[in-house]
Amino acid sequence: VVYFRYTDDTLRELAKKLKERTAELKEKAIDPYATSPEVTPPVNASGSCVFLSPDRRYIAWLTVVAVAYNYNVWFCPARLAFPYHNDTANRFWIFFDVLSDVVNVVDIIIWQPRLQFVKAGDIIVSDKVHYRKSQRFKIDMASILPFDLLCLQFGFSSIYRLNRFLRIESFFEFSDRLESIMAKAYIWRVARTTGYLLYMLHLNACAYYVASVHQGLATTTWVYDGEGTAYIRCYYYAVRSLINIGGLPEPVTTFEITFQMANFFIGVFVFSSLIGQMRDVIGAATAGQTYFRASMDGCVEYMNTYTIPKLCQNRVRMWYNYTWAAQGMLDESELLDKMPLVMRTAIAVDINLATFQKIALFQGCDQQMLVDMLLRLKSIIYLPGDFVVKKGDIGKEMYIIKSGAVQVVGGPDNSIVFVTLKAGCVFGEISLLQSAKDGGNRRTANVKAHGFANLFVLEKKDLFDILVHYPESQKVLARKGRKLTKAKGPAGAKPEEKPKGMALFGQKPPTPKLLKAFGNFRKGGVMDKLKVKPLH
């Protein structure tokens, strides 16, 4: 009995698996693009995708790390070159040295292992081994080796801290992340390039003092004479030497001549490269302004060539100046076209989707269709007094007010304001669905800009191109368009005038034409017509 029961259970399990396998094969036959479950790799927790966003707290911490790094790279050469080590100053040096080392150790132990990184397209958030196996970890560990302990044997000196210079990658990381969050990154680029220049002068000042000590202070006219503040005097020499200002004392010995020639070479190559980098940074910062000026000057030259009236030229200049001041560019589409579709969609949805959903004409339509419509919007800026639409024009666009206000005007000289539409309002949407038959898509009112108005425009052609892919939404819009058109009435039809009088008995029937003909004859006219003239 046990044998047969086991056989029965085995057959049932086998039949169940065969049935499941058959169902999977049927689904794959129906959908040939379906992915087989055996091929799909499992998703683990460490490889799951999350949103990678720069943490402001980490950038603040990188600021502290960058300050600690700059402390070492600026003060270590100065302490090596100048006589800044004594019993009083050493206490402060030891305190700040230990403080900077604590910052580096905390960064290596706590912050760096917690950083996210990208692997095969996934953002890994919980793998500390990655940092420990990286080349940066080895460099960081070498940078905090405590060579300072050698001071106990050989005396206090900052030469044992030169390995702190190896953490230069932390400074570059701070610089890159700071640029990524700044609205005007060129300010930091200019400051950073200026810092590079000052640091080169700092190193040259330290080298000049060491050379002066090697030759002997005040032994020749070229070396430092030992008067005043040593660092300031040497820094002044470095500025005049590297920038090649001239007026320097002539070197006397071979060592002094060699040192001065090396300074000139450094000034020509290194210093000039820094100046060129500064020019590139400033040029990149003002590239947009340069493009704006070139575009405006070209337009003004064109208008002067064809003798355009001054009033029109002034309005063109006003449009250029306001457009640039308002949005920092002349055409937003140039910037958006460089972005991927996902980014453009996100920006368009964030700006206008809520407004589109409030339009009665588009309520009940496919949400994806609304998103596609948002991507077809064009931004146009109107000056004060510009007519957006005029009564009787062919309606081919609808408008969404992004900023500013427009007025519906009428009366003599358009002096009567019927209504004022502000940001978020929509007008002209019915014209998108009306046909040109009997003037059905003619504008019925004048709309002009009250001040500077920035409008989004959707053209009828773009709407019809979108509706091809959304037949259900096309039916909804057609039905709503007929209702709105019927409620509004045909624009080209004139109201029928009803005859007055005899409202109680109805309208009098028309007189027959035969009776009208006889009625037109005067009295006795019929007999006169029937008389026959006598023959002579």
Q: How is the beta sheet containing 387-389 ordered, strand by strand?
A: 387-389, 446-449, 405-410, 416-422
Q: Are residues 260 and 116 in the same domain?
A: yes
Note whether residue 526 is domain-resident.
no
Q: Are residues 272 and 380 in the same domain?
A: no
Separation of alpha carbons 15 and 307, rounded Å:
91
pLDDT of residue 516: 59
pLDDT of residue 5: 66
Q: Are residues 299 and 447 in the same domain?
A: no
Q: Are residues 222 and 96 in the same domain?
A: yes
pLDDT of residue 148: 87
Does residue 535 sit in helix, strand or coil? coil
Note whether residue 60 is domain-resident.
yes
* Residue of 67, 92, 58 whose CA lies nearest to 164: 67
Note whether residue 514 is domain-resident.
no
Write the DSSP symbol of residue 379: E
* Residue of 177, 181, 144, 180 whose CA lies nearest to 161: 144
Note whether residue 522 is domain-resident.
no
Q: Are residues 80 and 175 in the same domain?
A: yes
Q: Are residues 186 and 116 in the same domain?
A: yes
Helix/strand number for the chain, H first, E second: 20, 10
Q: How many domains does the chain have?
A: 4
Of 446, 464, 488, the last residue of a domain is 488
Q: Which contiguous run of DSSP H or E holds residue 447?
A: strand 446-449
Q: Are residues 388 and 364 in the same domain?
A: yes
Q: Are residues 271 and 373 in the same domain?
A: no
Splitting the chain (536 residues) into consecutive groups of 10 residues, what average pLDDT does each group show?
Answer: 61 77 64 45 44 73 96 95 89 94 94 77 68 90 92 87 94 93 88 92 95 91 91 93 81 92 87 83 85 92 93 93 87 81 86 78 82 88 92 87 91 88 84 61 86 90 88 84 67 48 53 56 50 50
In angstroms, what CA-CA distances link 96 with 63, 74, 79, 86?
16, 13, 13, 15
Rg (C-alpha) for the chain, rounded Å, is: 43
Does residue 340 sit in helix, strand or coil? coil
C-beta separation of 228 from 264 below 8 A: no
C-beta separation of 204 from 238 below 8 A: yes
pLDDT of residue 77: 95
Note whether residue 395 is domain-resident.
yes
pLDDT of residue 100: 96
pLDDT of residue 336: 80
pLDDT of residue 55: 74
E strands, 212-321, in order:
none
pLDDT of residue 108: 93
Note whether residue 244 is domain-resident.
yes
Q: Are residues 441 and 301 in the same domain?
A: no
Q: Which contiguous run of DSSP H or E holds residue 93?
A: helix 87-106
Q: What is the 3-state secondary structure (H, E, C) of 43-58?
A: CCCCCCCCCCCCCHHH
Note whether residue 509 is domain-resident.
no
pLDDT of residue 491: 46
Strand partners, 389: 447
Separation of alpha carbons 253 and 219, rounded Å:
11
pLDDT of residue 318: 93
Q: Is 136 left (phi over 0), alpha (psi -120 to 50) or beta?
A: alpha
Q: How is the beta sheet containing 397-403 ordered, strand by strand?
A: 378-382, 453-459, 397-403, 426-427
Q: Please calculate the CA angle 66-70-76 and round it to the nearest 5 degrees.
A: 150
- Give the structural domain span for 453: 339-488
Instruction: Say how many C-beta atoms besides its own lie within 10 A of residue 226's C-beta.
Output: 12
Q: Are residues 243 and 358 in the same domain?
A: no
Of 267, 283, 299, the last residue of a domain is 283
C-beta separation of 318 from 386 below 8 A: no
* Residue of 505, 407, 396 whose CA lies nearest to 440: 396
Q: Are residues 239 and 319 in the same domain?
A: no
Does residue 79 sit in helix, strand or coil? helix
Contacts with 426 (C-beta within 8 Å, 6 or more apart), sequence order: 355, 358, 359, 398, 399, 400, 401
Q: Counting beta carbons within 10 angstroms of the beta carbon of residue 167, is it exposed (0 to 12), middle (13 to 18) or buried (19 or more)?
A: buried
C-beta separation of 102 from 94 below 8 A: no
Q: Which contiguous run of DSSP H or E holds residue 345?
A: helix 341-358
Q: Counting beta carbons within 10 angstroms of the beta carbon of residue 210, is it exposed (0 to 12), middle (13 to 18) or buried (19 or more)?
A: middle
Separation of alpha carbons 248 and 240, rounded Å:
8
pLDDT of residue 34: 44
Q: Are residues 313 and 198 in the same domain?
A: no
Written as six digits, the tokens of 450 are 């009250």
Note whether residue 96 is domain-resident.
yes
pLDDT of residue 321: 93
First-to-last alpha carbon distance for the chain, in angstroms, is 149
pLDDT of residue 430: 77
Question: Which CATH number characterizes residue 449's domain?
Answer: 2.60.120.10
DSSP string, 109-128: IIIGGG--EEETTEEE-S-T
